[in-house]
Structure 1
Amino acid sequence: MGLFVKICGICSEGDLGQISALGPDALGFIQWPKSKRYIDPKAVGRWETPEGMKRVGVFVCPTESELAHAAQYGRFDVLQVHRVPDHWKMDRDLFQGLEIWRALNPDELYHAESWFEFDRFLLDSYDSRTVGGTGKTCDWGKAKTLVKSVEKPILLAGGLSPENVEAAVAEVKPWGVDVSSGVETEPGVKDMAKVEAFIAACRKK
C-alpha cells in the first residue's frame, strides 16, 4: 500500500462530494463544538461516502458516551482522539469494528503511557487555543525518530500543504499524512485545486 492520505475538517456535503471524487483514503469530520470546523454527527451520517474510504470522527477529550453517540450517528469507521486525560480508558468492546487513533505532538508520544491501546497515532503540532488546523508544522526530526521506534502506523499532520508534503514524507517516512488548513480558502471551506495538488503530491512515485 502507498502513502495513506486523509483530508480533514470537511464541513459541507458539496466539499465532501468533490473531495471524495479525488480519491483520498480517509475523510475527517471535526466533532469538537469549539472548532470552527465542527459538524454535527447527525449531519455527517446523512452524507454518503465511497465504499472503502474511511470516515474519521475527530474528538477532543471525549467521554465514552460522546464517542458512542457520534459513532452511531456519524457512521464513523475511525475515532481520532485528541487531548485525553491521564490514564484515560475506554471499553473497546463498545466500539468493535472501529479503529481508535490517538493524536499527540511528538514530545507527548515520547512519554505516552498505554499507547498500545490505540490502533494508530497521529503526530500534530500543539496550540493551546485549538486542536488541529493551526497551519503549524510539528517537529519533523522527532517525528522521524518516532516513526522508526514506535511499532504502530503513524500519520503526520500539522502545517502540511501541497508545497511541503513531498519534503515532509521524504524526511519523516510516515505511514500516512493528514491535512486540513493547508488545503482551505478559509476554515472549513476547501480549495479543490489545493486538495487535488496535495493528493497528487502524495501519490507521486
Structure 2
Amino acid sequence: MAKVKICGIKRGEDVDIVNSFMPDYVGFVFAESKRKVSVEEAQKLILGLNPQIRKVGVFVNESYARVISIAKILKLDVLQFHGDEGNEYLEKFKTYEVWKAASINSKSDIEKVSLYNVNGIVVDSLDGNGNGGTGKKFDWSILKKYKNSILKPIFVAGGLNEENIQECIKELQPFGVDVSSGVESNGVKDKLKIKNFITKVRNFK
C-alpha cells in the first residue's frame, strides 16, 4: 500500500482533518509559499497532531543551521528539500530521514536523481524557479520507464487528486504519494477531499 503525505498543513482545522484520516506523513512548508508556516505556528499545530503521523519539514535552499534549528525545535521526522541542494549539503543531515525533490523529464534526469544519497525521492513538476509545488501533473511515462534505476523509495507529487490517484498507483507503483492543492478547495484543506484521497489509496488493489 502506498504511503500518503498531506502537505501544506497550516491551520488547526487541517490538524483535526488529518487526525481523523491518519495519513502516514504531513508536511510543514518553511519555504516561500502561500502555505508557508513559521516555526511558532508549526509548534502550535504539532501540539495537536496525532504523534503516529510523521512530521516532514519542507525546505528550499535553506542554510544548514536554520534547517537543523527547525528540525530540533519541532522534532521533525523527515527533511524534504526542493532546491539546488547537492549531496555535500544533504549528507550533513545523516541523523534524519532525508528526501530530495526532483523533476524527471528524461533518462538523464533519472541518472542524476540516482546519485542523490538520500532516503527517498519526491518526483514533482517544477515551477519557473525549479522548486516544485506547482500542483501540476508531470509526464508519468518517463518515470514509469526508468524508475527501477533509481533504487530509492519514490514519492509521486504534482497534480494528484482523488480522481487520478488510483491511476497513479496503478501506473507507477510508488512507495508513497504526496498531495497538497489536490485536496484543497478555495486554497484550504478540504475534509471530504482528504477523506476520499486517502480512502482511494488504501482501497487500491
Q: TM-score of the superposition, structure 2-length normalised? A: 0.89
Q: Amino acid of the residue matched to residue 161 of structure 2?
A: S
What is the 5 A alignment of 1:3-18?
A: 3-18=2-17
Match of 1:21 in 2: 20
Decide whether the 8 Å contact of 1:4 with 1:25 is kept in 2. yes
Match of 2:176 in 1: 176
Note closer, same or farther for the CA distance 1:18–1:74 as it changes in structure 2 (3 Å cut): same
Q: 2:42 aligns with which of 35, 38, 44?
A: 44
Note closer, same or farther for the CA distance 1:43–1:50 as it changes in structure 2 (3 Å cut): same
Match of 1:58 in 2: 58
How far, CA to CA, are the matches of 1:164 and 1:114 in structure 2? 27
How far, CA to CA, are the matches of 1:198 and 1:163 in structure 2? 8
Decide whether the 8 Å contact of 2:90 with 2:118 is kept in 1. no
Question: 1:115 offset after TM fit, Å?
Answer: 3.0
How far, CA to CA, are the matches of 1:114 and 1:201 in structure 2? 30
Decide whether the 8 Å contact of 2:133 with 2:158 is kept in 1. yes
Q: Tell me the C-alpha RMSD between the 2 structures.
A: 2.0
Q: Amino acid of the residue matched to residue 103 of structure 1?
A: A
Determine what percentage of the aligned residue pairs are the same residue: 34
What is the 5 A alignment of 1:48-87?
A: 48=47, 49-85=49-85
How far, CA to CA, are the matches of 1:52 and 1:124 in structure 2? 26
How far, CA to CA, are the matches of 1:183 and 1:191 in structure 2? 6
Note closer, same or farther for the CA distance 1:84–1:114 as it changes in structure 2 (3 Å cut): farther
How many residues matched?
Answer: 200
**Which sections of structure 2, spanning at least 5 residues, go unmatched?**
none
Question: 1:91 offset after TM fit, Å?
Answer: 4.9
Decide whether the 8 Å contact of 2:127 with 2:133 is kept in 1. no
Match of 1:139 in 2: 139
Question: 1:28 offset after TM fit, Å?
Answer: 0.6
How far, CA to CA, are the matches of 1:119 and 1:112 in structure 2? 15
Give the stretch that moved more between structures: 127-136 or 150-159: 127-136
Q: Secondary structure at the match of 1:112?
A: helix
Decide whether the 8 Å contact of 1:106 with 1:146 is kept in 2. no
Q: Secondary structure at the match of 1:160?
A: coil
Decide whether the 8 Å contact of 1:57 with 1:78 is kept in 2. yes
Match of 1:101 in 2: 99
Give the stretch that moved more between structures: 70-79 or 191-200: 70-79
